[in-house]
Amino acid sequence: MLAYLIRRLLVSVLVVIGVSLLTFSMMHLVPGDPVELMYGRNLVSKEIIQNVRHELGLDLPLPVQYFRYVTHALGGDLGRSVRSQRPVLQEILARAPSTFELAFSGLLIGLLIGCPVGLLSALRRGSIADRLAMVFALLGVSTPQFWLGLMLIFLFAVHLNWFPVLGLGVGRGLVLPALTMGLGEAGLFARLFRSNMLEVLGQDYLVVARAKGLSENLVVLRHALRNALIPVVTLIGLETGYLLAGAVVIEVVFARPGLGSLAVDGIMNRDFPIVQGVVLFTSVVFVTINTVTDILYTVLDPRIRYA
């Protein structure tokens, strides 16, 4: 187990290094001078542009720039926002809680809806309930989030006035954004959980358990359910990272101040340090979550052992 953890940690470090290379290259892959793009060529003098280039280290050789970028990032210094002149990490930490609240609320809604629907569909295979569950899952997966968010706003905020139009805070303002995100996740979890349960329910050890006289409820809850959850844990780890990175659409629709809207503002304002910082921060969180997910396998299934 220890050897696996060391290998997994090394792989995670390599992934983060690769992401840091990509984020560092963002300024240099954009055609033209990045400082002129950020400030506008005709809006500031050449002296100001040269000073900013010097402050950002853009007048140094590329290897030196990357080394400085990595060493500063390891120390928590992701640069300074061009627009607000505040440290990038400070901007990210101010917005991160909002995105975490949205992502985990959407994930929780997806699990609470998707797993029971998938379980019911598997236990009632071929029935009307099974078909309706799969139609729900298909709609959840295929419906665009921006359209669903607008429809929820129109129905529950404008028409019924149950919730606010803007998705601010963690109370009533979080309901519609989390529901928009959670319904799509529910479709994914329902389809995956159904297929896992159908596979597990056909295993020989469950046939033996039934032959010993165990009730069907006990067979499902004690033996089948736990094994069917293992692939779901994999999807939870992957989707958590995707939700953190993909919350931008929902945050823009509901005017929610999170990492996604921060990245969009950075792109619109040509604030490259902000965009670099958000991408790097999100990738580190994504890698960390997936590493923790792999370790959780052994908790759900003691038969799994990493060499």
- pLDDT value for 184: 83
Say which DSSP state 169 is in: S
Beta-bridge partner residues of 87: 80
Closest C-alpha among 291, 253, 297 to residue 102: 253
**Distance separating alpha carbons of residues 269 and 138, to the nearest angstrom:** 38
- pLDDT value for 171: 76
Length, in residues, of the chain: 307
Token pair for residue 24? 């560092």
CB atoms within 10 A of CB 149: 21
Each residue's pLDDT tens digit in the chain (307 positions)?
Answer: 667 677 777 887 888 888 888 877 776 676 666 676 666 655 667 777 777 777 777 777 878 888 888 888 888 888 777 777 788 888 888 888 888 888 888 889 988 998 888 888 888 887 888 889 888 888 888 888 888 888 888 888 888 888 887 767 677 788 888 888 888 888 888 888 888 887 777 776 766 766 766 666 666 766 677 777 777 777 777 777 778 776 778 888 888 888 888 888 887 777 778 888 888 888 888 888 877 777 776 665 655 555 5
**Distance separating alpha carbons of residues 281 and 249, to the nearest angstrom:** 18
**Distance separating alpha carbons of residues 54 and 40, to the nearest angstrom:** 17
Contacts for 246-251: CB closer than 8 Å, 24+ residues apart: 247/99, 247/102, 247/103, 247/181, 249/145, 249/146, 249/149, 250/102, 250/145, 250/146, 250/149, 250/167, 250/177, 250/180, 250/181, 251/98, 251/99, 251/102, 251/167, 251/177
On the 0-12 / 13-18 / 19+ scale of CB atoms within 10 A, 28 is exposed
- pLDDT value for 230: 73
Please, are residues 194 and 268 in contact by the beta-carbon 8 Å criterion?
no
Angle at 184 between CA 171 and CA 297, to 5 degrees: 95
The domain segmentation of the chain, as residue ranges, is 2-88, 94-300
Contacts for 303-306: CB closer than 8 Å, 24+ residues apart: 304/230, 305/1, 306/1, 306/3, 306/4, 306/5
**Distance separating alpha carbons of residues 178 and 109, to the nearest angstrom:** 7
Beta-bridge partner residues of 80: 87
Please, are residues 179 and 152 in contact by the beta-carbon 8 Å criterion?
yes
Which CATH code fits 94-300? 1.10.3720.10
Please, are residues 277 and 78 in contact by the beta-carbon 8 Å criterion?
yes
